Copies of this chain bind each other. A is one copy, B any other.
Amino acid sequence: MEKSFLKEHFDASKESFFEEWKEFLKFQSISPDPAYAKDCQKCATWLQKKLISLGFESELIQTSQHPVVFAERKGPEGAPVIVLYGHYDVQPVDPLDLWESPPFEPVLRNSRMYARGAQDNKGQLMYGLHAVETLIKQDALPCTLKYIIEGGEECGSPGLGGILDEWGERFEADILIATDSGTLSKDLNTITMGFRGVVGLTARLSGLRSDLHSGVHGGVAPNPATEMARLIASFHNPDGSIAVEGFYDDIEPVSEEDLAVANSIPVSDEMYISLSGVPPVGGEKGYSFAERRGLRPTIEVNGIHSGYNGPGQKTIIPAHSVVKLTSRIVAGQDPKKILSLIEKHLQKNTPEGLTLEFSEQEAGGPALCVSSSSTPVHELREVLSEVGTGTVAFMWEGGSVPILTGLSRVCKAEPVLFGFGLEEDNIHAPNESFSLEMYEYGFLSMGLFLSRQGKLS
């Protein structure tokens, strides 16, 4: 199929596409807040109806949380089977007063759709669905499609995660497509080559009867705030590498080819500073930006809290201290083992006189790595080179989507990960939006990719 064919259909139908997208965005499908359970249910039912109208057989799978929309449309005998993953749930909307228009009253402004979920993931799900619809209507869909659309991604996918093993056989496919990621810039269509895995825990140092007077007890009682700082400092060597014993042992080496591709992405300090406010000086010395971001593991403190936080000075030795941390892991590292190594490190370095306790340990999942020799990735690259400026980049994502690791395991499928999200979309923040241009890129990419999977009979 040619791009021009799809583009023509997009231009003819885009008004109705955007109206339907708005309908989808009106559902207040906030998954982390149980108050919105009914909205999630309604949103799932709406999706199911839409899929049935396109000729899919569909059912809502009840889970421990919100339902998963499963739908299947058989292609020609022997055609490749493709799973399309997405999620209909969205992040909470607070602080509400920072929104310029209500989060669940979608509105088009300056060629962007504004609403909670406009991009993540309702927008990126919808352009794919509209591409599928177009191919079906034009009798140009040569493969079997299975939709798996969950309602709990913003909570770490407890529902879908819980039914994976039971449903694994029904989910089996050749290719797993997920469009829940971003693109490096408007002019750089991006293939995601993997996600880091993640593990996390909360550690607490205590033992003091209560806050103690820092004058009366200073120099005598061990200080849980100071000692927590020393514990945290013990995680890293002066060169930024991680000092936890055995931490790096199982890492699979990155191929020269992948490394060259990863390092070919141009990122200047200025670009990074304008994005984040700080120069990219974190992580291990001796590794490039792209390596430190996607191919090397980390231990990051997400929060540390102890003692007084009001105005002026309160002269106490705080009764306890708490650190919350997550570690991103890469290919070869086992989540449970890494979690256990971190715990051992903390136990070994527990300061005399204080008690260390762990809670909220989560071995979220291993890294997901796309093989650079994968046929679908080569095909996707070809497709993306026909969209926008035609420049294609490969990105190893620093973040984690544990459910995709699990899905690709049970689907036994090659993962194909792309998306058109940009920093400017403000996902997880007030005034989330998605540009119509990126919506069109997504539509064209998905349409072209699917139209070339298998042969029409």
Contact = CB atoms under 8 A, between A and B. Distances in A.
Nearest to A222: B282
Interface string A358-376: 0010100000000000000
A333 B198 CA distance: 48
Contacts of A228: 229, 304
Interface string A194-218: 0110101010000111101111111
A292 B196 CA distance: 47
Contact of A198 (B212, B315, B354): B315
Given A215-B328, A225-B304, 14 more contacts: A198-B215, A208-B278, A212-B276, A215-B397, A215-B398, A220-B289, A226-B232, A228-B304, A230-B232, A281-B352, A302-B316, A303-B306, A311-B360, A315-B400
A429 to B, nearest CB: 9
B322 A326 contact: no
A302 B298 contact: no
Copies assembled: 2
B326 A313 contact: yes
Contacts of A221: 276, 278, 280, 282
A294 to B, nearest CB: 8
6 contacts: A219-B284, A219-B293, A229-B233, A302-B318, A311-B360, A313-B324
A213 B399 contact: yes
A219 B279 contact: no
A381 interface: no
A265 B363 CA distance: 51
Given A219-B293, A279-B352, A301 B399 contact: no
A75 interface: no
A223 interface: yes
Query: Which 9 residue pairs spanning A and B have beta carbons closest together?
Result: A215-B399, A303-B307, A219-B283, A229-B232, A209-B277, A233-B233, A303-B308, A225-B301, A219-B292
A275 B292 CA distance: 48
Interface in A330-364: 352-354, 360, 362
Given A278-B208, A300-B223, A312 B215 contact: no
A4 interface: no
Contacts of A328: 214-215, 218-219
Contacts of A293: 216-220
A364 to B, nearest CB: 8
A450 interface: no
A110 interface: no
Nearest to A293: B220
Contact of A226 (B209, B301, B362): B301
A398 B217 contact: yes
Contact of A304 (B229, B280, B302): B229
A312 B297 CA distance: 21
Given A225-B303, A229-B304, A279 B353 contact: yes
B283 A220 contact: yes
Given A212-B276, A225-B302, A307-B303, A353 B281 contact: yes
A410 to B, nearest CB: 23
A231 to B, nearest CB: 8
A315 B198 CA distance: 10
Contacts of A226: 232-233, 235-236, 300-301
